[in-house]
Amino acid sequence: MMIMTQKITSLAFEIRDGMFRKEEDLTPSQRRLAVRRMPSLLEYLSYNCNFLGILAGPLCSYKDYSAFIEGRSYHLKQYEANGKEDLKHEHEVPSPNAVVVHKVTVCAVSLAFYMTATRILPVEYNIDEHFQQTSSILTKIIYLYLSLMAARPKYYFAWTLADAINNAAGFGFQGYDKNGEENWDLVSNLNIKQIELSTSFKMFIDNWNIQTALWLKRVCYERATFSPTAKTFLLSAVWHGVYPGYYLTFFTGSLMTLAARNIRQNARHHFLHSSELKLIYDVMTWIATQVAISYTVAPFVLLSIKPSLQFYSSWYCCLHIACILVLLMIPARARKKGSDEKATISQPQPMAPQKEEEKIPQKNSHPTTNNNSNQREESAWRRPSAAQ
């Protein structure tokens, strides 16, 4: 039901953007994904109920799915560094075999690690009374980080397996990079290396459950008339389910986001004068990020209200208080470069006439829309100017 909810709402907004809104009112991502013809019943059911992602996803846009079904996603092209198209790979057929084997291997390792580590490092031990009374603060911090790190591989397993299933069926190819390497990450949902090495809350979120984050951005954040961040966090909590731990996690996440934004804007530029200072900054922010993430998501794993509140009370809600103090004492600085870039991105882009767009399938040159660069651009909703 969670994936069906994403698909139905996404398609509804894409149809609305393509058929009932003015072109100049659309954002660049809305233009790319706009559906300008009402799908037939067969197309609608095929998109929502296809076997590739009906159970575990990941979400894909209607345009990407249509291009795959109609055979347009295999228009192979390689982009040079200057962005021009090179058709020397035009007659090659991409093979997902290698990437599927790699992703299945990642699944096996993730599952084995999860089954082993969670027995040694259960998250519930964080609220054990004996542990709380006898452990030092440093021990509590280290165990919190290790126990939540041990809980993540189950998500790595599920999302990577879902991605591999799509790739095995031929879906997920998005062309070649500038080095001529095949890219099968069209519907990838995470980047494990970036998650584990995150030096900011934003960096972690940008690489975690990517397709859901893009869905939240497209259907909520960029359409909200006020308080888009709060509304997006609330929608995410409601979409996940009714467990109180979800709501505590997303409430805490919103505080972390706002506080991290203020800290980054006021502190980061002081560490960019030398590589040594930048390294110190990266180490400090990695430690802070991992502790903040673990503290934030513990209720997400504990689920129930009693253990979740017991966990936060055992930490005296220290990071909640710290975030509030940061918001009260450290002012948010106006962004200059970021604002200019955002204004540039949001300017209406020239659009090809509708007739030309309809001819694309005949030319077999329909571009995929949800590539990694677009994901990075669109994921800016999640933590605008959050701490890096």
What pLDDT, on a 0 to 100 scale, did the predictor assign at position 342? 39
> In this structure, what token pair is assigned to residue 173?
């190819």
What is residue 335's predicted lDDT score, i.e. its pLDDT?
55
Report how far residue 352's alpha carbon sits from residue 290's, in angstroms, rounded to the nearest whole number. Answer: 45
Distance from the first to the final alpha carbon of the chain:
34
Residue-level pLDDT at 75: 63
pLDDT range class, residue 369, cuts 50, 70, 90: very low
Query: What integer pLDDT is reported at residue 334 of this predicted model?
Result: 61
Give the C-alpha separation, 190 to 203, whole Å. 11
C-beta of residue 290 within 8 angstroms of C-beta of residue 198: yes
Q: Is pLDDT above 70 for 305?
A: yes
pLDDT at residue 355 is higher than 60: no
Count of Cβ atoms closer than 10 Å to residue 309 Cβ: 17
> Between 220 and 376, where is the model more confident?
220
Other residues' Cβ atoms within 10 Å of the Cβ of residue 49:
11
Q: Is the dihedral angle over the CA atoms 238, 243, 244, 248 positive or is it negative?
A: negative
**Identity (one letter) of the amino acid at 169?**
A
**Which residues touch 112 (CB under 8 Å, ≥6 apart)?**
none
Please enumerate in sequence order all residues whose Cβ is within 8 A of that of 201, keeping only pairs 6 or more positions apart, or say none.
253, 256, 257, 260, 289, 292, 293, 383, 386, 387
Tokens read off for 145: 């980080």
Q: Name, of 170-174, 179-183, 280-284, the range with top average pLDDT.
A: 280-284
Residues forming a β-bridge with 86: 78
Banded pLDDT at 202 (limits 50, 70, 90): confident
How does pLDDT run across 135-149, given as a tens digit for each residue? 999 999 999 999 999
Cα angle 192, 118, 208 (rounded to 5 degrees) comes to 25
| Rounded Cα gap, residues 103 and 109, in angstroms | 10
Please report the pLDDT score of residue 95 as a whole number. 87
Q: How many CB atoms lie within 10 A of CB 160?
A: 25
Query: Quick one: what percent of the chain has pLDDT higher than 70?
Result: 81
pLDDT tens-digit series, residues 4-14:
999 999 999 99
Task: Record the pTM.
Answer: 0.80
| Residue 19 scores a pLDDT above 60 | yes
The answer, yes or no, to whether residue 370 has pLDDT greater than 60, is no
DSSP H or E run through 78 = strand 78-79
Q: Compute the mean pLDDT over every residue in the chain, rounded to the nearest whole number.
A: 83
Which helix or strand (DSSP H or E) is residue 364 part of? none
Active-site amino acid positions? 209, 240
What pLDDT does 90 receive?
52
Does residue 379 carry a pLDDT above 50?
no
Q: Give per-residue pLDDT as tens, 43-95.
A: 999 999 998 888 888 999 999 999 999 888 766 444 433 445 544 445 467 88
Backbone angles phi, psi at 176, to 5 degrees: -110, 150
> In terms of pLDDT, which residue wins out, 177 or 310?
310
Q: Which two tokens stand for residue 312?
A: 């936060």
Q: What is the pLDDT of residues 113-134, one digit of tens each?
A: 999 999 999 999 999 999 999 9
The structure tokens 């559906």 sit at: 35
Q: Is the dihedral of CA 242, 245, 251, 253 positive or negative?
A: negative
Q: Give percent of the chain above pLDDT 90.
A: 61
Q: Is the pLDDT confidence value at 195 over 50?
A: yes
